[in-house]
Structure 1
Amino acid sequence: MHSLLKRQLRKYLPNEEHLTEEMTQFLDAVQKSYENFDEKFYMLQRASTISSEELFEANQRLEKEAVRQKAILTDLESAIESLSKNLQEKEVLFTEGEHGFNAEYLAKNISDLALRMSDMTTEKDRLLKDLEEQNKSLNNYAQMVSHDLKSPIRNINALMSWIVDEEKEKFSDISKNNCSLVSQNLEKMDKLISGILKHATLGQTQEQPVSFELRNLLEEIQRTIYIPENVSLTFGEELPTMTFEKERLEQLFMNLITNAVKATEDKENGIISINYEPDDTFWKFSIADNGKGIPKYHQEGVFEMFKKLENDVLSTGIGLAIVKKIIELYEGEICLESEEDRGTTFYFTLKK
């Protein structure tokens, strides 16, 4: 019982031993009510303390969430503005409001742009499918034309050879020369058709990458192609061990080396050098020669189809176009430096 109440009871009531039973019960009830009050007050005070702490923590979480939401909205504004520029929107997407943006308008634009992006994706997929079908048809057509043209060309060339062998004694020098030109042009047509077919189907190889020494590959090419005695082919000392589609790489180097041989075959001492520069991301190569060089006005279009640097009867103008396409398939680049009568250097990269 509260101390002040207890003192007042002692002052006005008789001694405790003379209290009646009813009075004792009354005083006990008063005592219990005070105990219940103190206990409930303590519980209420503790509950208030806990609620204040929780409220403080909740406020902190809300402040952090508000900062996060503001950052998200800022990013959304930037994204919507960027998309609108790309889609050539001319409307003002955001108006200054309480928080510097119009949330309702922002949500509407997000919804509209999402629908437009979905439509564009559907259209893109349709166009890609159509393009795939067209490429497939073109490649099938290229292979069919190649087969249908090569066979009669080779037959004509064989017949011309037989006629010349059997009737050469009856031919005049002019006729013999004309027959030789026919054979050369037939040979050129055969190479041209093969080159076009290679260029058209270049990205369809099923070849698997293998590990090999580049030096061994280059020495194999050196033994395969014709190199005059006055032309020397040298390799850098640090040529790498590569994991690559070997046949495709062989085609690339063979085309570049063959061009270099043609450029240097009239030199008294022709030199072709192949070098490698180490790099973490790309294979980096250079092929240099001291040949006739490429005129400035030819350099820009040298990698285009059917571009020839000189009037060579057997040249098809496809070799460097195939080289560039191979390099682009491996996310690489090719460029050249050249001066007339001082030689040419091709630099190219292939992504590892």
Structure 2
Amino acid sequence: MTLAFPNKKVLEQEYKDLSGLLSNIVDSVPMYLFVKDTGDGFRYVYSSPMMNQLYGQFLGDVVGKTDFELFPDPVVAQAFRDKDLEVVKTAKMQRFTEQMIDREGVLRFIDTMKMLVPREGKAPYLLGMSWDITHQQQIEEEQQENNKRLALSCQAGKIYPWIWDVINETAELSLVQNGEIIHTFIEHESFTEKIHPDEQQMYRDVVNAFARGETDSLRLSFRCRYFSDQYVWLEKIGEVYEYDKEGKPSKAIGILRDITADKQHEEDVRAKRLAEESDRMKSAFIANMSHEIRTPLNAIVGFSTLLAQAETEEEKQEYLQIIQSSNEFLLQLIGDILDISKIESGKLEFIHTTFRLNEIFAPQERAFSLRAEPGVEVVFESDGDDYYIVSEKTRLTQVLTNFLSNAVKFTTSGSIRFGYKLTDTGIYAYVTDTGTGITKEHLSTVFDRFVKLDMFKQGTGLGLSICKTIISILKGDIGVESEEGKGSTFWFTIPCSPVKVS
């Protein structure tokens, strides 16, 4: 059997074709490819067409030259030579970034790999492959600059960007440390546990609804001590930016913002407005007091003079009744002013004793029947039982009589009914009248200081405010239901343990 071998011409042609193919491939690859002879002063023995673009005066004439002949700047040439020597010394592939100025004077960044290619009986070749990463370097520098700006902005605004993996309940939180943004991963629940107990359930409700896809965005504020030992106010803003196959949120993005300073500013503004309103109301109060005090004093002085000149007993009794009424109103004015002063200074005294409820309710029926308009019925509604409680008898009497005084003042016909009922936690007391009632716009302010619903009626506008303070100190509630033209029901509740009188 005879083996057939390709003839020499066929082999030469195939070699030539393969060599041409490899040359075309190398020429087409978008990289700088070169070979240096380490045994001949690192002279170039090959350079790809792209290499020639780096050199101006030596365009197309790189082979046979060294870096010192190609680069006019000896510092650049020496830097390349140092890298070549390092590859020869270590006999390992090296990769590094080099800088050079091309023929148009543009600074370029080159990512280069160099390695040795052994040759039999001769010094090895040094094979180099480089990629122009100038554009990539510019992008990285721009990104670093943008990150720096973002870090400064986040630091100045106390902003923490986040990305929430809704499915795995983890979040990537960005923080600023030493002027740089760092990213940390946290468990959703570990953050939630740091929220103030008063806002924690609200936070869970809102965020869970967001995670279920019930809303596409969220915005809420709460107190949290995740970033420090002290609670600070944070605002969380976010929106869904990725959904799963079922249309449920899978990822969300947003920011946390420290709004403690904003909250403090709001409080300062609110306090300023309250102070301004308080000053305005105090000015109105002083003006009102001047009028209110002068009225009974003028009556007392005037009718005292007339009393001395009265000729009949009936006339004297009429003057005495006016003087007595003026005295009572003046005492009420002074009492209210003293109570407000004690409230402001925190010295309003409360002495708890044991007493029967009927002691403060029953006597008011006769007392206010005498003060009511003719035809107005004043009724203490009782089921016949009586109860012992432990509370502040004087202050509760003050609240009840204030309610009754207002009812008498604004009721000209019908009835005034008052009483109390037992509740699960204490007692509920009420005064219901068929008087003029209160407009809807005034219902929310009746317990504020210096508020008078009728400027033509006697009063300081302090009584109901004092009542509210008293009931608040007794840890109870106070309120009113009213309809204009049909009457009102003023009520209060206090916690206590009533014991039936046997």
Greater RCO (CA < 8 Å, at least 6 residues apart): 1
Greater share of helix residues, 1 or 2? 1
Greater share of strand residues, 1 or 2? 2
